[in-house]
Amino acid sequence: MKHFLILALATLAVVFGSVVRAEDNVLTEQEKKDGWKLLFDGKTTEGWIGYRKKDVPADWKVVDGTLAQTGHGGDLRTVDKFENFELLIDWKFETEGNSGVIYHCSEEGGAPYETGPEMQVMIHPAGKAPGKNDGGAYYDVVAPTRIATKGQGEWNTFKVVCNGTKVEHWVNGEKVVDVDTGTDDFKAKIAASKWGKVKLFNTVKNGYIDLQDHGSKIAFKNIKIKVLPETK
């Protein structure tokens, strides 16, 4: 059984093409001083739980230093809630796929995206005009200023900054979304989106961070967060 388990994990590592580096899933001394905290230690699923579940779905596995969605078992969310923060997360598909990083969500709605906004996780062909459902978008509300995701099989780094009503999405070091969710203009954008009639959408200030299960196999690593001071 032990040899079978080792072989199975090795196979998953090959599937995801994961490469563990010494600097993965650790904080530098400067990051520690700046207040960053790891949300994934590269070894366990501690700090995570299935959305509307009492434990971690079996399809979410720690594979070669990554938090990998290997099947179709539901979303994974943080145990803790966050309000104002900077979030960094690396992700990679081996094949074309669809996923999302959802934040400020609760378990009040039928799904995480019914309460919290989603930073779209997707890869698109080079040269494609950015749309509201492309990689880095504030899903179905605001398109990224440009497609900055890397190609299939490459690691991408997303950053989400939430500070009061101000929200930024960064893709591989480029800011692609910069909005103030409290303005009338932004509220009009929500009203014109698929969330226009979803009463709970964008109403949670202090919520979970959720990794979406959209049926695609995806790996995450270097998930870290810095809590920002409360806004006045």
Q: Which of 22-26, 76-80, 189-193, 203-207 has the lowest mean pLDDT?
A: 22-26
Task: Give the whole-number percent of the chain exceeding pLDDT 70.
Answer: 89
| Residues 67 and 209 sit within 8 Å (Cβ to Cβ) | no
The pLDDT of residue 151: 85
From 206, 207, 211, select the one nearest 223 (Cα to Cα): 211
Per residue in 164-185, pLDDT (tens digit) is 999 999 999 999 999 999 999 9
Q: Is residue 232 part of a domain?
A: no
The pLDDT, as a whole number, for residue 17 is 46
Per the CB < 8 A criterion, the answer to whether 113 and 102 are in contact is yes
**Average pLDDT, integer, range 18-39:** 88
Given pLDDT bands bounded at 50, 70 and 90, which one contains residue 19? low
Confidence of residue 152 (pLDDT cuts 50, 70, 90): confident
What is the distance between the alpha carbons of residues 102 and 127, in angstroms, rounded to a whole number? 26
Domain count of the chain? 1
| 53: in domain | yes
Residue 125 forms part of a structural domain: yes
Predicted pLDDT of residue 216: 86
223 found inside a domain = yes
pTM: 0.89
Positive or negative CA dihedral for 115, 209, 160, 173? negative
For 48-101, write each residue's pLDDT tens digit.
999 999 999 999 999 999 999 998 889 999 999 999 999 999 999 977 789 999
- What whole-number distance in Å separates Cα of residue 61 and Cα of residue 82? 24
The whole-number pLDDT of residue 155 equals: 96
Domain carrying residue 168: 2-227
- Check pLDDT > 70 for residue 102: yes
Strand segments, DSSP code E, in 181-217 are 208-211
Euclidean distance between CA atoms 201 and 57, whole angstroms? 25
What is the DSSP-derived secondary structure letter of residue 207? B
Residue 24 lies in a domain: yes
What is the Cα–Cα distance from 158 to 173, expressed in whole angstroms? 8
For residue 122, tell me if it sits in a domain.
yes
76-78: strand order across its sheet:
48-50, 76-78, 208-211, 98-105, 118-122
* Residues above pLDDT 90, as percent of the chain: 78
Predicted confidence band of residue 21 (pLDDT cuts 50, 70, 90): low
Specify if 79 maps to a domain: yes
Mean pLDDT of the chain: 90
Q: Which residue has the tokens 């591989």?
A: 172
The residue with tokens 């303005």 is: 183
CATH of the domain at 175: 2.60.120.560
Q: Residue 33 domain-assigned?
A: yes
Please determine, for residue 43, whether its predicted confidence score (pLDDT) is greater than 50.
yes
Whether 120 and 133 have beta carbons less than 8 Å apart is answered as yes
Average pLDDT of the segment spanning 205-232:
92
Provide the pLDDT for residue 10.
44
Question: What is the rounded average pLDDT of the residues 21-31?
Answer: 90
Query: What residues contact residue 221 under an 8 Å CB cut-off, 6+ apart?
Result: 18, 24, 25, 40, 42, 65, 66, 67, 90, 155
